[in-house]
Amino acid sequence: MRGIATVNNMTGMPNVLDRFDLTGRVAVVTGASSGLGAAFAVGLGQAGADLVLGARRAEKLAETRDAISDLGRKAIAVTTDVSSPTDCQALVDAAMAEFGKVDILVNNAGVSSAAPATRETPEAFERVIGINLNGSYWMAQACGRVMRPGSTIVNVSSVLALTTAGLPQAAYSASKAGVLGLTRDLAQQWAGRKGIRVNALAPGFFPSEMTDEYLPGYLESQLGRVPMGRAGEVEELTAALVFLASDASSYVNGQTLVVDGGLTIA
């Protein structure tokens, strides 16, 4: 009887789907010119957010901006190299000038390399770290200065922070593991003091511009490691991102949401 009474007392609770609604929120997405970043931006727009888009390729970035506009949402595009703290600050300044606030940051910008560890040059290694890890920090730092309580940061890591890929990926794996450490520390620093939640998204194998650069057949060769037996669909990953970016995850902080079809448990 106690369980029935509890359920009856909750019949007047708000609709849980409302917690996924991002209407009135402003989201900054880096690496938004194509691939997962563009899909993330569109997904956030579908959920109601206005967008501030950053990437290095201005022409492709404009295409994402136009796709957001087609949804009836506002969007601006700012050419940005996240390895530059100055560029990161300029992106946030543009967001504040246009919208007066930043509610969501999606640190998605990233590059990969596949050089054997004995032959990878310092310049190549530092480029990956500079964009994937340092860039996430510069963007979080710039947004953290202006974000209000209730804001959220989603750092896009990778399952390669947790397992191997069958390719030489030392720089990429190190950078993405670093993103997880960064996520935990910022979550601890900012949740109580600033009211900003920080979480990480760790995708498994998803078709993307980055995976297109791998050897032909590579992605298919790895699917035997995935208990679900297939690559993920972009919409599945975008839905997980919207969860972390929205009030649906309002008591989730400092966590890594792995979306990999079970790869890391196999």
With beta carbons less than 8 A apart as the criterion, state whether 102 and 152 touch.
Answer: no
**Residue 78: φ, ψ to 5°:** -130, 120
**Residue 93: φ, ψ to 5°:** -60, -40
| Residue 105 buriedness (CB in 10 A; 0-12 / 13-18 / 19+) | buried
H-helix or E-strand containing 156? Answer: strand 152-156
**Residue 48: φ, ψ to 5°:** 115, -5
Cα–Cα distance between 140 and 147 in angstroms, integer?
10
Determine whether 172 is an active site residue: yes
Q: DSSP secondary structure string, 182-206?
A: HHHHHHHHHHHHT--EEEEEEE-S-
With beta carbons less than 8 A apart as the criterion, state whether 40 and 29 touch.
Answer: yes
Residue of 137, 172, 214, 218 with catalytic role: 172
User: Could you list the active site residues?
Assistant: 172
